[in-house]
């Protein structure tokens, strides 16, 4: 199949955008985890490498200059560690609602951080982050869009990000 | 001199975190009041004076923009500096909040040092540099 000049240009633009979003996801994750949770990203891992492990989920939508969603999954061993640091409490004292609240805050900060990197000159309305039940349906929800998985040593963070300007005509991914 | 602070954020977890960061910042904090949205904050401000307000943007009932507009319109609150503490930190959003009357902006995520620095800067501005 022969690609036209315009198709090649479109494909190059798509690849550039993918690389930019991917880089922004990494920078945002490193910044948020280090600044608010004093955790360091040890390495990036393959999505499939952690897909069988139990995770807790949160997600949030945004609208404005572009529309989209950020989804977050924390491995069950990592979520209480992050919540413990956030609240300054021992893990044994944490309530499930506190762990969910920290998941939501993390999703919120990641989304804001990514958008400010990608589109600093734009206005967005950020939706309210929501913690989601862990089930197979949720697992499948996070299997599209720009995806990164980071190993923090004591667990992993999966991030999935979609952004599109015209939902029907011009998806970013 | 201790500063009385009002924290406006719909997330109890974030209010608690900001409070803890203030405690760790080394600043002298007096009363620490909390509200879940702008309308609740205005109700608190009817009864209590504070030295500085820290507010989120995305909140139910009355969001940060509406709250800032109300504060700017009320003569008795005009002198209270408002610092926005938000994840919504595009340049455009920051510009908008500052144009509505915010005196400072702290992007989440933030370190205790960055919150302290911004509060000190804003309180000096609010007090004519006398603190």
Q: Mind listing the pLDDT tens digit of every residue in chain A (173 residues)?
A: 556 788 888 888 878 888 899 999 999 999 999 999 999 999 988 877 877 778 899 999 999 989 999 999 999 999 999 999 999 899 999 999 999 999 999 999 999 999 999 988 889 999 999 998 765 555 666 666 888 999 999 999 999 999 887 645 454 54
Residue B28's domain comprises: 3-126
Query: What confidence score (pLDDT) does residue B131 get?
Result: 44
Q: Residue B82: which H helix or E strand, with range? A: strand B82-86
Chain B 82-101, CB below 8 Å of chain A: which residues?
Answer: 86-93, 96
A76: in domain: yes
Within a domain: residue B131? no
Tell me, yes or no, whether B73 lies in a domain.
Answer: yes
Give B86: exposed, middle or buried? Use CB within 10 Å, 0-12, 13-18, 19+. buried
The 10s digit of each residue's pLDDT in A23-43 is 999 999 999 999 999 999 999
Residue B10 lies in a domain: yes
pTM: 0.87
Number of domains in chain B: 1
Integer Cα distance of A157 and A159 in angstroms: 6
Q: Is A116 within a domain?
A: yes
**Chain A contacts of B91, Cβ < 8 Å?**
116, 120-121
A172 lies in some domain: no
A61 touches B at CB < 8 Å: no
In a domain, A169, yes or no: no
DSSP secondary structure of A50-74: GTTS-EEEEEEEEEESSEEEEEEEE
Sheet containing B3-8: give its strands across.
B29-35, B3-8, B52-55, B82-86, B104-107
Nearest CA in chain B to A122: B92
Residue B102: strand, helix, or coil: coil
Q: What is the ipTM of this complex?
A: 0.85
Tell me if B87 and A98 make a contact (CB, 8 A cut-off): no
Torsion of CA A42, A48, A53, A59, to 10 degrees: 80
The CATH code of the domain that includes B26 is: 3.40.50.2300
- Show the tokens assigned to A131: 């913690």
A170 part of a folded domain:
no
What CATH number is attached to the domain comprising A102?
3.40.1550.10
Per the CB < 8 Å rule, is A105 touching B11?
yes
Question: Cβ separation of A121 and B110 shorter than 8 Å?
Answer: no
How many domains does one find in chain A? Answer: 1
Domain range enclosing A39:
5-164
What's the confidence (pLDDT) of residue A96? 93
User: pLDDT digit string (tens) for B45-71?
Assistant: 999 999 999 999 999 999 999 999 999
Nearest chain B Cα distance for residue A119, angstroms: 7
Q: Rounded to an integer, what distance in angstroms lies between the CA atom of residue B128 and that of residue B79?
A: 11
Q: Please name the residues between 24 and 53 in chain B that touch chain A, using a CB distance below 8 Å.
A: none
Measured distance CA(A61)–CA(A47) in Å, rounded: 22
């Amino acid at each position: 199949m022969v690609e036209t000049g315009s198709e090649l240009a479109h494909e190059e633009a798509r690849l550039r955008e993918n690389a930019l979003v991917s880089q922004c996801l990494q920078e945002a994750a490193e910044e948020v985890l280090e600044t608010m949770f004093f955790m360091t990203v040890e390495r990036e891992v393959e999505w499939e490498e952690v897909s069988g492990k139990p995770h807790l989920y949160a997600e949030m939508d945004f609208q404005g200059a572009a529309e989209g969603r950020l989804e977050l999954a924390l491995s069950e061993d990592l979520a209480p560690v992050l919540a413990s640091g956030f609240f300054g409490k021992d893990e044994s004292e944490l309530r499930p609602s506190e762990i969910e609240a920290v998941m939501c805050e993390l999703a919120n900060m990641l989304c804001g951080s990514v958008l400010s990197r990608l589109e600093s000159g734009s206005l967005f309305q950020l939706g309210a982050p929501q913690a989601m039940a862990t089930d197979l349906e949720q697992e499948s929800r996070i299997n599209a869009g720009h995806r990164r998985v980071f190993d923090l040593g004591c667990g992993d963070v999966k991030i999935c990000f979609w952004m599109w300007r015209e939902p029907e005509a011009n998806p970013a991914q | 001199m201790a500063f009385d602070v009002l924290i406006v954020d719909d997330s109890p977890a974030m209010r608690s975190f900001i409070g803890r960061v203030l405690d760790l910042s080394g600043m002298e904090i007096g009363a620490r009041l909390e509200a879940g949205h702008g309308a609740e904050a205005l109700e608190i401000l009817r009864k209590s004076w504070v030295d500085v307000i820290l507010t989120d943007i995305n909140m139910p009932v009355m969001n940060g923009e509406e709250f800032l507009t109300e504060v700017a319109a009320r003569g008795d609150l005009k002198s209270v500096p408002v610092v926005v503490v938000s994840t919504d930190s595009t340049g455009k959003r920051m510009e908008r909040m500052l144009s509505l009357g915010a005196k400072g902006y702290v992007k989440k995520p933030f370190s205790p040092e960055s919150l302290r620095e911004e509060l000190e800067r804003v309180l000096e501005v609010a007090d004519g540099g006398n603190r």
